[in-house]
């Protein structure tokens, strides 16, 4: 029951993010070079790098929730 509740909450969050971004679809995945750059910026304490990594991996999160 907890798993179903958590899954529902996460999926609601994903659709909220899509609504806020205004695109109605997931952002494209980062290229390996872009991901390395984000990870390097994250290590240096850049808070926008964390957000960028999360947003660009929403498609993976949705896939895991759907098939999990």
Question: pLDDT truncated to tens, each residue of the chain (68 aa)?
Answer: 666 656 656 666 666 665 555 556 788 899 999 999 999 999 999 989 998 998 888 888 877 877 86
Q: What are phi and psi of 31, to 5 degrees?
A: -70, 160
- The reported pLDDT for the residue numbered 65 is 78
Q: Which domain covers residue 17, as residue numbers?
A: 2-67
Number of domains in the chain: 1
The whole-angstrom separation of Cα 58 and Cα 39 is 16
* Predicted local distance difference test score (pLDDT) of residue 25: 76
Q: Which residues contact 68 (CB under 8 A, 6 or more apart)?
A: 7
Cα separation, 30 vs 27, in Å, equals 9
């Amino acid at each position: 029951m907890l798993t179903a509740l958590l899954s529902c909450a996460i999926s609601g969050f994903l659709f909220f993010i899509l609504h806020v971004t205004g695109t109605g679809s997931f952002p494209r995945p980062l290229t390996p070079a872009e991901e390395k750059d984000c990870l390097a910026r994250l290590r240096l304490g850049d808070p926008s790098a964390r957000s960028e990594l999360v947003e660009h991996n929403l498609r993976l999160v949705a896939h895991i929730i759907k098939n999990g």
